[in-house]
Amino acid sequence: MFNIVIFGKPGSGKGTQANFLKEKYSLYHISTGDLFRKNISNETKLGIQAKSYLDKGDLVPDSVTIKMLENEVLSNKKVKGYIFDGFPRTLAQAESLETFLSSIKLKINATIALDVDENELITRLIDRGKTTNRTDDQDLEKIKNRFNEYNNKTSILINFYDKQGKFHLVDGKGSVDDITLRLFNLVESLI
């Protein structure tokens, strides 16, 4: 089983590339955003808890997010591996993920970060905001705040996974096809 964590700043193409990886390698894609929406719309106990925090404008606590993720993995065990997208975001989450996976005799094989210049990301996000009406993609201050949040938390994760020899940086500039090819080449070298 091959398990990947994919991360990158907002607009780096994580979701797009995770879908290509999912298709090519028959992996199960777990996005925390999708997990929240699924649990909230199905009114699960965890979804109701998550919604109560989100409705107040608060972050969903790790304990709720991790439990959702664990349930999703345990409900989808007959797969060739997982792509974790949007999780972990903090060192505590990374450690919790490792503990959980170890308990079911799995591990993270690779973490892949898509590297894109922030000026290019701003252009991508503003363009995306025009077509999707996402307000967080249309406000420069909100975009910069999301970058700061990512930079402050993710540098710790880079060190965490790099010490394990699992961190890989992929150039996220260029056409979608070029980026996909670079990702596929990396994964092929690791399998």
pLDDT value at residue 144 = 85
Domain membership of residue 189 (yes or no) is no
- For residues 107 and 152, the answer to whether their CB atoms sit within 8 Å is no
> How far apart (Å, rounded) are the C-alpha atoms in residues 41 and 48?
9
SS3 116: coil
What is the CB neighbour count within 10 angstroms for residue 31? Answer: 20
Domain membership of residue 177 (yes or no) is yes
Structure tokens at 15: 């979701």
- Output the pTM of the full model: 0.86
Domain membership of residue 70 (yes or no) is yes
pLDDT value at residue 141 = 83
- Domain residue limits at 57: 4-184
Domain membership of residue 77 (yes or no) is yes
Q: What is the largest CA-CA distance in the chain?
A: 45
pLDDT value at residue 189 = 94
Residues 101-125: tens digit of each pLDDT: 999 999 999 999 999 998 998 888 8
Percent helix / strand / coil, the chain, rounded to 5:
60, 15, 25
DSSP state at residue 137: G
Domain membership of residue 190 (yes or no) is no
Domain membership of residue 14 (yes or no) is yes
Domain membership of residue 86 (yes or no) is yes
Domain membership of residue 145 (yes or no) is yes
Residues 31-46: tens digit of each pLDDT: 888 898 899 999 999 9
- For residues 129 and 135, the answer to whether their CB atoms sit within 8 Å is yes
Parts of the chain with a pLDDT under 50: none
What is the number of structural domains in the chain?
1
SS3 73: helix
Q: At what angle do helices 62-75 and 45-55 cross, to 10 degrees?
A: 150
**Is the N-terminal amide bond of 88 cis, ω within 30° of 0?**
yes
> How far apart (Å, rounded) are the C-alpha atoms in residues 71 and 76?
9
Sheet holding 167-171, edge to edge: 28-31, 82-85, 4-8, 110-115, 167-171
> How far apart (Å, rounded) are the C-alpha atoms in residues 180 and 53?
36
Rg (C-alpha) for the chain, rounded Å, is: 16
Tell me the CATH number at 132: 3.40.50.300
